[in-house]
């Protein structure tokens, strides 16, 4: 039986782990452990950092990676880049400034059309 120890985790990381865990069929704790193991593998000798860096810099192909740990490291880096990019987006504001209509899902999953004059579109 694995020993456990309590620890504090940033609320944003916890929320992201909970959401990712649902998609990956893991509990929040299992997702955090999975990420910790990936981090440990990245920092260990099991990974060839230059190979991973080459893929991230588009100098090599992901499809040529044979090592599942290298693949996992690349995917984790891509996920972080995507999360960072998404965090900086405010498409509702951008569309309102451009006076463009758009559609989105509301909290209940219903399709709602937003217009530039609609206060909810800001």
pLDDT in tens, 70-91: 888 888 888 888 888 888 899 8
d(CA 75, CA 71): 6
- Is the pLDDT at 45 greater than 80? The verdict is no
For the chain, percent of residues with pLDDT exceeding 70: 88
d(CA 46, CA 101): 50
d(CA 48, CA 64): 13
Length of the chain: 122
- Is the pLDDT at 52 greater than 60? The verdict is yes
For the chain, percent of residues with pLDDT exceeding 90: 22
Task: Give the Cβ contact number of residue 108 at 10 Å.
Answer: 6
Q: What pLDDT sits at residue 113?
A: 93
- Is the pLDDT at 22 greater than 60? The verdict is yes
The reported pTM is: 0.48
d(CA 19, CA 37): 18
Q: Would you kindly state where each structural domain of the chain is located, as residue ranges?
A: 11-87, 91-121
- Is the pLDDT at 16 greater than 80? The verdict is yes
Three-state DSSP class for 113?
Answer: strand
């Amino acid at each position: 039986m694995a020993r456990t120890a309590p620890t504090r985790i940033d609320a944003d990381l916890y929320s992201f782990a909970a959401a990712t865990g649902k998609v990956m069929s893991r509990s929040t704790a299992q997702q955090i452990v999975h990420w910790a193991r990936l981090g440990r593998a990245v920092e260990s000798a099991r990974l060839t950092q230059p190979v991973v860096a080459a893929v991230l810099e588009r100098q090599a192909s992901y499809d040529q990676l044979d090592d599942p740990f290298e693949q996992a490291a690349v995917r984790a880096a891509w996920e972080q880049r995507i999360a960072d990019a998404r965090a900086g987006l405010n498409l509702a504001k951008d569309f309102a400034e451009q006076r463009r209509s758009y559609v989105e899902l509301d909290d209940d999953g219903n399709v709602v059309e937003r217009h530039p004059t609609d206060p909810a579109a800001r």
